[in-house]
Amino acid sequence: PTHPEPVGLSHKLIDKWEISKSSIVLKERIGQGQFGEVYKAVWNKTAIVAVKTLKPSSCDAADFLREAQIMKRLHHPNLIQLYAVCTQSEPFYLVTEYMSKGSLLAYLQSPEGRGLSIQCLVMMAAKIASGMAYLESRRHIHRDLAARNVLVGEQHVVKIADFGLARMIHNREYVAHAGARFPIKWTAPEAANYSRFTIKSDVWSFGILLTEIVTYGRSPYPGMHNAEVLRQVEAGYRMSKPSGCPPELYDLMLECWAADENRRPSFAEIHTRLEEYCEEERPTYRNMGGTNLFAATRGLRSPSSPINPVPAGSGTSANARYFQNIENLQISVSP
């Protein structure tokens, strides 16, 4: 059935972002962060949405509103879409599309995710790269690209989420403020050591994300703690090729992890190479009986297509680990 697009809940209505909080009914909590919670909700009794809330009197209100401003400007089929905001009273709401399968990390670790072929996984990675190539073209950096911050919908659609750390870069780099926290095992050396973030540090993180994808959600650098990872990576250590990982994919990972950030590929190049790999593997994939899966992942909307909320009653319950906390993988950066 065709999904409805209720008036007032579309990203195309640029001057009508604000909606009444009374039109939102919060249902189950599907995530929790330091400054708020994420709920599965119903808008106007017609559409299932996700609602990110900010705890009343939180000192992070400026960042929360900045996230909304960023999301208003970005539209791509592989980025989570903002529908509306509720900022007239606390707690503030960000209303976004709802992804029925939850986080990519939880999905990869689930029985359904573990049943995916490597070809399907690479296609999902290509779509993530497409979303990042769009951010690259818009001069944005994400700063926290990882499987926990990618969401999965029906038919293996993947969308990048959590723009809380995203920044527009007017110069080539963004220097994090003193005390900023970020996940070490996903972070490029120049960002971890000097808080210097560029789109190329996102490329490094994408290489780590690729290892998460091909290992069905294994934590990177298994058996190593943060300090050891920092030390070993600085000395030139790189993770070995995961079991079952195609050599071409591992070569791409190593390029993403080049010590010289200028030698890392662009996301546009990464997207092209992953798409080419998938095209080369399609005959083999068909022989494996995977045509329907593959076709589903290729049938994504174009950026200009309408993005509609899920009708109430049609979605499946999101995994409880929709937004996973990773505080044990973070350190605080000193000035």
Q: How confident is the model at residue 256 (pLDDT cuts 50, 70, 90)?
A: very high
Comparing 11 with 229, the larger pLDDT belongs to: 229
Q: What number of other Cβ atoms are within 10 A of residue 189's Cβ?
A: 16
pLDDT > 90 fraction of the chain, expressed in percent and rounded: 55
Instruction: Look up the pTM and report it.
Output: 0.78
CA triplet 39, 43, 48: central angle to 5 degrees?
60
Q: Which CA distances in Å does 106 have to 9, 14, 72?
A: 28, 33, 27
Q: Which of 43-52, 64-73, 140-149 has the lowest mean pLDDT?
A: 64-73
| Mean per-residue pLDDT, 315-322 | 35
* pLDDT score recorded for residue 51: 95
- Residue 52 assigned as binding residue: yes
| Mean per-residue pLDDT, 216-228 | 95
- Residue 238 assigned as binding residue: no
| Mean per-residue pLDDT, 123-134 | 98
Q: How confident is the model at residue 203 (pLDDT cuts 50, 70, 90)?
A: very high
Give yes or no for residue 334 having a pLDDT over 80.
Answer: no
Which residues are identified as catalytic?
144
Chain mean position to CA 172: 22
Sheet with 158-160, edge to edge strand ranges = 102-103, 150-152, 158-160
Strand partners, 97: 49
Q: Euclidean distance between the first and final Cα of the chain, in Å?
A: 54
* Residue pair 219/206 in contact by the 8 Å Cβ criterion: no
Q: Tell the residue number behind the tokens 């593959």, with chain if given.
A: 294
- Residue 231 assigned as binding residue: no
Q: Residue 65 class from Cβ within 10 Å (0-12 exposed, 13-18 middle, 19+ buried)?
A: middle
- Residue 148 assigned as binding residue: yes
| Distance from C-alpha of 195 to C-alpha of 181, rounded to nearest angstrom | 10
* pLDDT score recorded for residue 330: 36
| Mean per-residue pLDDT, 236-244 | 96
| Distance from C-alpha of 40 to C-alpha of 95, rounded to nearest angstrom | 10
